[in-house]
Amino acid sequence: MAHRRGWGTDGSRQEGCPIGKLTVTAPAKVNLALYVLGRRPDGYHELWTLMETISLVDEVTLSPAGGDAVGLTATGRPVPTGEDNLIVRAAHLLRERAQVSTGVDIHLRKVIPVGAGLGGGSSDAAATLVGLSRLWELRLTEDELMALGAEVGSDVPFFVAMQLRGGSGAAVCRGRGEQVEVVEAPSPHWYLLVLPKEGVSTAAAYGALRAPTRLTRVPQKAKKVQEAYERGDVEELRRCCHNDLESVALTLSAGCRRAFERTAAAGLPQAAVSGSGSALFCLCRSREEAEGYAAVLAQHQETDGFEAAVVSGPGSSQA
């Protein structure tokens, strides 16, 4: 992959940001459905998942720097700032493949909880890839950026696709997550998000899952989820939400289990685990309904050890 400056993928001139800094918003996601169809020969799991971005966001700020180093600082929730961070891995990978010698300072304002199944690390990496491709004025196609993202992490291609479509959206993802089919929702969604203090390791969750040893077909239930999503049928979506990792997350995380039990005891709609947990979400019919449920849970947040937040999907206004 050569380092090509100043031209867009359609041949048009790009403005880019050769001087100054660039801030990219990195959204979290929820899995409205997640089916694990078996273990692949390469060791990964074959997935079918419907994901949409939500309004809980990190911010990744990219600034040109002297020398050739990639530096990362962070504020907000604690995260590693070395090679263990997907931001650093994404920046190094892009520099290597695009043959860029310029250094960059990256600052992360971390809001999305770590180990929550909300894709925060993957979204940060995608924001870094897309942002640096603009900052360095690289001529990279969507396919090239998504392929790079797949090398960083399984959820990164989804977030790259969303970044290239205005920063939010939804998609059905297949394979190990790298096959992204964008889908449209006719109406925006509102969620009550429940965030236990403790996270769940994705590797531990998949390691504990009793997945099929052979690949199975996508179940009919998955197709019903997509159809309900595209119709904007919230009631049907509530009934169809499914996550093959949910029982694992509830077993691995006492905090996730307490929050799950608390939402049920409070009479909220059926909570669902996002990704490998530990975050839960309740799909709501409106912002007002979500805020009402948040008020119900507020008295239990400190004693039960979780946070609750009202967030929206693509197209919703937080005003």
How far apart, in whole angstroms, are the C-alpha atoms of residue 216 and residue 160? 28
What's the gap between Cα 318 and its chain centre? 19
Q: For the purposes of burial, counting CB atoms within 10 Å of the CB of 251, is it exposed (0-12), middle (13-18) or buried (19 or more)? A: middle
Q: Tokens for 212, please give them.
A: 């099929």
How far apart, in whole angstroms, are the C-alpha atoms of residue 267 and residue 264? 5
Q: Tokens for 91, please give them.
A: 């920046």
What is the DSSP code (8-state) at residue 185?
A: -
**Given the structure tokens 């650093």, which residue do they identify?**
88
Catalytic (active-site) positions: 29, 155
Q: Which of 130, 138, 128 shows the shortest CA–CA distance to 107? A: 128
How far apart, in whole angstroms, are the C-alpha atoms of residue 127 and residue 23? 9
H helix intervals, 169-242: 202-208, 220-231, 234-240
